[in-house]
C-alpha cells in the first residue's frame, strides 16, 4: 500500500483516540496478540497510564493492522504513529548500520547478545537510528532462529543444499543462504504459512516461539535446532516526538520502556523453552545440527557477506562493533 494511502487509512483508525490524555502514544507491531511482544507492550500501556495518572495514553495496533515493518517504520519517521517494533533484518534498508546484525553465529548465547546490545555496541546502533529520525526505545528479542521444514532433517551442512526456504527480503541474507546452496525465496512474514501449505517453499527459519504462534507446525514435519542467528526486535519511536517530551514524561517513558524490554526478553525465553516441548507433542521430529556443521555453516555464510556488510555499515563501524562483541 502506498504511504499516502496508508496515512489516510490510519487517520481514520486513529480518530477515536481519547481527548483527555495530554499525550497519546500509538504503537504498531506485526506480531499476534499472543506474542511476547504484544504481551509486554500491554504492560507498557498499563504501567505508563497508571504512573502518569492518565496524562499519557497508549494505543496498541497488533498483527500488522498498520502495515508491514517497513511501512510502520515510515509511519514512525513521518510522525503518523509514535512507535513500532520490527526485526533488525527488516530495518537495515532504512538504517544501514543494522546490517552488522545480519551476521551468523555472532553471539554465543542470549546473555552475550543482551550485554552487547545494552552496551556500547547498542549505543552506536541507536545513534545510527537517530540519523534516520528514529529513537531506540530498547532491544527486544525474537531469540535464536532455527528451522522447520517438510523435506528432511537438517542434520548436516550438506542438508541445506537445494532447500527452498523463505528468506526476508534482504539482499545480504539471500546472498548468505545461497552461499550454502540453499534456495532462498523472499516472502513477507504473513505469506510464510500459505507458502508452506502450498509447497511453494519447503521450510522457514524463525524463533521457536514463532513456530507455535504462527502455527507452522500444522504444515511442517521437522524442527532442526540450528541456532544460526540471533535477531533482536527493535523498538523505535519518532525522534522529534521523543525530544519534544517534557523531562518528566521522558524519564517516566524511559523507565517503563526499560522494564518492558526486560519483561519481553523473559517472556520470549520462557515461550521458546516451552515451545520445543509443545512442538514435539504436535508430532514434529526434532534434531540438533551438530556443532561442527553449524560452525562450518556460519563460516561459509559470513565469508560470503562480510564485504557487503563492511561496505554498507562502513569498515570503522564494523570493526568497532565487532570489538565490542568479542570483549563480552
In a domain, 172, yes or no: yes
Q: At 6, is the pLDDT very low, low, confident or very high (cuts 50, 70, 90)?
A: low
Parallel, antiparallel, or unpaired: how do β-strands 83-87 and 23-28 relate? Answer: parallel
Burial 279-293 (b: 16+ CB within 10 A, else e): beeeebeebbbeeeb
319 falls within a domain: yes
Task: Say whether 80 sits in a helix, a strand or coil.
Answer: coil
Residue range 92-146, pLDDT digits in tens: 889 999 999 999 999 989 999 999 999 999 999 999 999 999 999 999 999 999 9
Does residue 18 belong to any structural domain of this protein?
A: no
User: For the chain, how many helices (H) and strands (E)?
Assistant: 13, 9
Considering the domain boundaries, does residue 15 fall inside one? no
- CATH at residue 269: 3.40.190.170
Write out the three cell numbers for 317. Answer: 563501524
What's the pLDDT tens digit per position in 237-292?
Answer: 999 999 999 999 999 999 999 999 999 999 999 988 898 999 999 999 999 999 99
Locus of grid cell 514524561: 249
- Looking at every residue in the chain, the average pLDDT score rounds to 92
326 Cβ neighbours under 8 A, 6+ residues apart: none
Q: Is residue 8 in some structural domain? A: no
Number of domains in the chain: 1
Question: H-helix or E-strand containing 292?
Answer: helix 291-313
pLDDT in tens, 178-219: 999 999 999 988 899 999 999 999 999 998 988 988 899 999
In the predicted structure, residue 62 carries a pLDDT above the cut 60? yes
Report percent pLDDT > 90 for the chain.
Answer: 79
**Which three cell numbers, joined as nine digits, stand for 190?**
504473513
Give the whole-angstrom CA distance, residue 234 versus residue 100: 14
Residue 14, in any domain of the structure: no
Q: How many residues are recorded in the chain? A: 328
Element (H, E) at 3: helix 3-14
- Which residue segment(s) compose the domain that 306 sits in? 23-327
User: What secondary structure does DSSP assign to 120-148, as a single string?
Assistant: HHHHHHHHHHHTTTEEEEEEEEEEEEEEE
Q: How far apart are CA 166 and CA 176, in angstroms?
A: 13
Q: Kindly state whether residue 57 falls inside one of the protein's structural domains.
A: yes
Scanning the structure block, which residue is given the C-alpha cell 500491554? 42
Residue 3 lies in a domain: no
Predicted TM-score of the model (pTM): 0.85
> Can you give the C-alpha Rg of the chain in angstroms?
20
Amino acid at each position: 500500500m502506498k504511504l499516502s494511502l496508508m496515512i489516510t487509512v490510519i487517520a481514520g483508525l486513529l480518530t477515536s483516540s481519547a481527548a483527555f490524555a495530554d499525550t497519546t502514544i500509538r504503537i504498531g507491531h506485526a506480531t499476534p496478540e499472543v506474542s511476547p511482544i504484544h504481551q509486554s507492550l500491554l504492560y507498557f500501556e498499563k504501567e505508563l497510564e497508571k504512573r502518569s495518572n492518565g496524562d499519557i495514553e497508549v494505543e496498541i495496533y497488533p498483527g500488522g493492522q498498520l502495515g508491514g515493518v517497513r511501512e510502520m517504520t515510515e509511519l514512525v519517521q513521518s510522525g503518523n504513529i509514535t512507535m513500532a517494533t520490527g526485526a533488525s533484518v527488516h530495518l537495515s534498508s532504512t538504517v544501514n548500520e543494522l546490517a552488522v546484525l545480519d551476521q551468523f553465529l555472532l553471539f554465543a548465547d542470549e546473555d552475550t547478545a543482551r550485554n552487547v546490545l545494552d552496551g556500547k555496541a547498542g549505543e552506536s546502533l541507536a545513534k545510527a537510528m537517530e540519523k534516520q529520525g528514529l529513537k531506540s526505545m530498547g532491544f527486544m528479542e525474537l531469540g535464536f532462529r532455527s528451522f522447520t521444514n517438510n523435506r528432511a532433517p537438517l542434520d548436516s551442512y550438506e542438508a541445506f543444499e537445494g532447500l527452498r526456504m523463505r528468506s526476508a527480503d534482504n539482499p545480504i541474507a539471500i546472498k548468505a543462504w545461497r552461499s550454502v546452496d540453499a534456495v532462498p525465496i523472499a516472502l513477507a512474514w504473513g505469506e510464510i504459512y500459505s507458502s508452506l501449505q502450498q509447497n511453494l517453499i519447503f521450510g522457514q527459519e524463525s524463533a521457536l516461539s514463532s513456530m507455535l504462534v504462527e502455527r507452522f507446525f500444522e504444515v511442517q514435519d521437522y524442527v532442526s535446532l540450528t541456532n544460526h542467528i540471533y535477531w533482536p526486535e527493535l523498538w523505535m519511536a519518532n525522534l522529534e516526538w521523543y525530544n519534544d517530551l517534557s523531562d518528566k514524561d521522558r524519564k517516566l517513558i524511559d523507565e517503563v520502556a526499560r522494564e518492558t524490554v526486560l519483561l519481553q526478553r523473559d517472556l520470549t525465553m520462557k515461550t521458546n523453552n516451552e515451545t520445543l516441548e509443545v512442538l514435539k507433542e504436535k508430532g514434529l521430529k526434532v534434531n540438533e545440527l551438530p556443532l561442527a556443521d553449524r560452525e562450518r555453516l556460519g563460516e561459509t555464510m559470513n565469508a560470503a557477506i562480510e564485504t557487503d556488510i563492511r561496505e554498507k555499515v562502513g569498515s570503522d563501524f564494523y570493526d568497532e562493533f565487532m570489538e565490542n562483541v568479542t570483549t563480552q
